[in-house]
A and B are shown apart, each in its own frame.
Chain A
Amino acid sequence: MDILQKNILEVKDLAKDYPGFHLKMDLAVPAGSIMGLVGPNGAGKSTTLRLILGLAHPDSGSIQVLGCSDLNKAPALREDIGVVFDECSFPEMLDAAQIGKVLGKIHPRWDKARYEQLLKRLELPWGKKIKDFSRGMKMKLSIAAAMAHSPRLLLMDEPTSGLDPMVRGQVLELFQEFIQDEERGILLSSHITSDLEKVADYITFVDRGRALLTEEKDTLVEVYGVLKGPAARMGEVEPGDAIGLTQTKHGFEGLVRDKAAMARKYPDFLVDRANLEEVILYLVRENREGSEEK
């Protein structure tokens, strides 16, 4: 991560204990970027967001959101933060116009024209009750509401889940536009790796409450690869060279960290480009096998 870039969100040594779950997290979102928080269900993504938002109290560690260490002591600063939860929080007997009226009385910077423009762009009806919305429409409404007061930081928990591919594209485009001025940033928790592959600048992998890896997305995709070869020659791969080396129907495969170096070291084998999902799967598997061995 470029240290010259100003972080609009910083999480250091953040720890939180729940029965059967321990979170230990480091994370940063530089201005002008999208950080994708990715990991399996129950990995600690939502807990991390709750701690950042001040909905839960950390046991130790520090959180700096837009320069503030405790949002609960500076509620006005929340105007600079837009939040989308994994479920729509708006009462279903209201409609988008009523939600606009309510939020317009709460947000000092609420921009009615911007809200209307977002609803139009996301093809949301103005006067239809939310109870008649699909899950995707509800998420789009949550996103429009989170963006209509011009926040500097967007914190979103699975905002694209339930959206069809076309709408996902529209929403991801909105996110990219949002960070164009290089002053704002997004922390986007998702398990849809293809979305993160499209928009994220950085990726943090989370598993069992720990950030396993934080890396620039482009570096991740460029550096990691999948080493493949015939099953009979699997033994030729030196220990430590490949993560999660396994035998498949067609031979063996495993994740390698330095794609180019491994291609030189094993010229007889194939080194494919690894997509984000493959990188995650191998890293999670390695983490779990490692912790079970311990």
Chain B
Amino acid sequence: MTGLVLKDFMLMKKNALYIAVVMLFFAGIYGSMGSDSFVSFFVSVMVVSILISTMSYDEFYHWERYAAVLPLSRRQIVGAKYLTALLFFAIGGLYTMAIDGASLLLRGGSLSGEALLVMVLAPLTGMVGAAVTLPFYYRFGAQRSRTAMLVFYGVPSLLVVVVARFAPGLLKGGLEVSLTLGGFLAGCALFTAVALGLSFLLSVRILEKKEIK
């Protein structure tokens, strides 16, 4: 199983380095404007995008067919992709923390509750995005999973824009959460874990029933 993870890392090494450099550039611009949350979310979106790129490569080279004849169960094949996703998010999270930390040091600020919230919420949102897109990949292929990712990020963003434009009061009210920060983040983490777990089971079921061409 680790072989499949290794293959994805080998495939994306170059792309990830390129993206990391671009991110650093944007981090500089937005950090100087005092907006670190952009970097957190952008890294999270990029991680999902890189994950989908691995799937596109798998599809293009018929790797799914090859993996299915290796001494691995379909559950292990799916498990490897989810493990890859988690490792990508871990690296993305560390990268975000490093950028945000450097930004704070340079500007001489301290970590606010809001910054911490964003730093944790961004990868969790990305993981839920991965939980949505991965079953789409196993059922419909890489192209449709990319569409699923766009819908996942696009629809909520559009809703926020529409609400902010036409009913800004609603948005303000909606953000008043009575939970403590820790409780809220724990709830989000639990939700993400459940989403990933269910997504994994669904993907395994899809791949086990799938006829591979």
Contacts and interface: CB of A to CB of B under 8 A. Distances in A.
A90 interface: yes
Interface string B95-119: 0000000000000000000000000
Contacts of B62: 85, 87, 89
Interface in B62-88: 62-63, 65-66, 68-74, 76
A78 B73 CA distance: 10
Contacts of A233: none
Contacts of A54: 68
Given A85-B66, A107-B70, 20 more contacts: A55-B69, A55-B211, A56-B212, A75-B73, A78-B72, A81-B69, A83-B69, A88-B61, A89-B61, A90-B61, A91-B7, A91-B57, A94-B11, A102-B3, A102-B4, A103-B70, A105-B6, A106-B3, A106-B4, A106-B70
Interface residues on A, range: 20 to 34
8 contacts: A53-B69, A55-B69, A85-B62, A89-B66, A93-B11, A94-B7, A94-B11, A102-B3
Interface in B178-213: 208, 211-213
Nearest to B11: A91
Contacts, number: 79
Q: Which secondary structure dominates chain A's binding surface?
A: loop
A108 interface: yes
B74 A72 contact: yes
B10 interface: yes
Nearest first, the 5 A-B pairs at minimum CB distance are A105-B3, A89-B66, A106-B3, A79-B71, A78-B71
B157 interface: no
Interface of A: 50, 53-57, 72, 75-79, 81, 83, 85, 87-94, 98, 101-108
B8 to A, nearest CB: 10
B2 interface: yes
A267 B65 CA distance: 55
A156 to B, nearest CB: 12
A89 B71 CA distance: 16
A103 B76 CA distance: 15
A57 B66 CA distance: 17
A55 B71 contact: no
A146 to B, nearest CB: 9
Nearest to A94: B10
Contacts of B66: 83, 85, 89-90
B72 A106 contact: yes
Contacts of B10: 94, 98, 101-102
B134 to A, nearest CB: 19
A91 B63 contact: yes
A104 B4 CA distance: 11
A5 to B, nearest CB: 25
A223 to B, nearest CB: 36
